[in-house]
Amino acid sequence: MVFRLKVNYVHDFNQKTEEEFLNIQNNLKEKINVTNKIDLGNIKVCAGIDIAYWEKNNETIGACSIVIIDFQTKKVLEKVHSVGKIEVPYIAGFLAFRELPLILEAVEKITVEPDIFIFDGNGYLHHNNMGIAAHAGLFLNRPTIGVGKTYFKIDKVDFIMPENEVGAYTDIVVKNKVYGRAVRTSKSVKPIFISCGNNIDLNSCYEIAMNLLSKDSRIPIPTRLADLETHVLRQEYR
């Protein structure tokens, strides 16, 4: 029997204004769970998600790539993608409304069941705790992790640079609440920014990310492969 992930559509995508986006975030953020619902010893399959954009005939086109790998061997098990017109412009803080339709379209093509999804973007590390990994986690019914390559300040709070050793980290604390973690995944290379998506805690996010590194990149293997695949898709569909 072929696996199909049942998406939980917690809202539609008819919203057009920042006020509507914010209302949905405020309604959903209390449902985000940053406690652990996964046994790290039982993780077998991991999915990485990334999106690339380009302009065509005065329209923005997006390509979403999902690459699924074996957690132990790091072997690629499946690649799926979706391509389509992006209906929502980039608005800081509301990335999910721009990207989720393409992500969910790609997710529905998956035939290998992931235990966890890793996103090239933030999760709880967001001014409203509703970055793409957190928001998407409510749709996917799976633990999700956000891994950002750059840091966007929350309430003007900067992060503390981790020591220059692999695995060193500092937690990002805003108003006495931990939002995420700056992590050094390679010596003398800029840190990445890890945060919970949904149904997972920060320490587990950190452990999983550190177990998915290679010498080729500072970001976890699944999102690195998804990123590389979006470049291929962009060339193909352009």
- Cβ atoms of 112 and 68 closer than 8 Å: yes
Identify each DSSP E strand in 57-151 by its residue range. Answer: 59-70, 76-85, 116-120, 144-148
**Helix, strand, coil share (%) of the chain residues, nearest 5:** 25, 30, 45
Instruction: For tokens 């569909």, name the residue.
Output: 237
Instruction: Give the residue ranges of the annotated binding site for Mg(2+).
Output: 50, 120
Which own/partner pairs from 76-85 qualify as long-range (CB within 8 Å, at least 24 positions apart)? 76/225, 77/45, 77/112, 78/110, 78/111, 78/112, 79/229, 80/106, 80/109, 80/110, 81/106, 81/109, 81/229, 81/233, 82/106, 82/109, 83/233, 83/237, 85/59, 85/60, 85/61
Instruction: Give the residue ranges of the annotated binding site.
Output: 50, 120
Helices (H), the chain: 18-28, 95-107, 132-140, 202-210, 221-237
